């Protein structure tokens, strides 16, 4: 069976995820990340494997990271 043309390309492939919420008034990315950040990572693993990516980059606003660092950790 012949491979599609994109599989023959020897250049590296990159997966880029934009969780910036650049649109005014949107909070969808923040809620997705709050509800299950592991789902984002898992989705990156699945998508990256499917496209044979050599690296994945996730862009997250610094405010999200700062908020996560200041939240108290829950035991258990």
76 residues of the chain, pLDDT tens digit each: 456 665 677 789 999 998 877 766 666 777 777 777 788 889 999 999 999 999 999 988 887 777 777 777 666 5
**pLDDT at residue number 48:** 95
Supply the DSSP string of the chain, one letter for each residue. Answer: -PPPGGGG--S--EEEEEE---STT--HHHHHHHH-HHHHHHHHHHHHHHTT-SEEEEEE-HHHHHHHHHSPPPP-
Do the domain assignments include residue 2?
A: no
**pLDDT at residue number 76:** 54
Do the domain assignments include residue 19?
A: yes
Do the domain assignments include residue 3?
A: no
Structural domain harbouring 63: 10-69
Taking the model in full, what pTM does it have?
0.65
Do the domain assignments include residue 21?
A: yes
């Amino acid at each position: 069976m012949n491979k599609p043309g994109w599989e023959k390309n020897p250049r590296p492939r990159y997966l880029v995820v934009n969780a910036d919420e650049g649109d005014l008034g949107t909070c969808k990315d923040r809620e997705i990340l709050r509800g299950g950040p592991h789902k984002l990572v898992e989705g990156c693993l699945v998508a990256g494997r499917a496209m044979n990516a050599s690296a994945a980059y996730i862009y997250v606003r610094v405010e999200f990271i700062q908020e996560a660092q200041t939240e108290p950790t829950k035991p258990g």
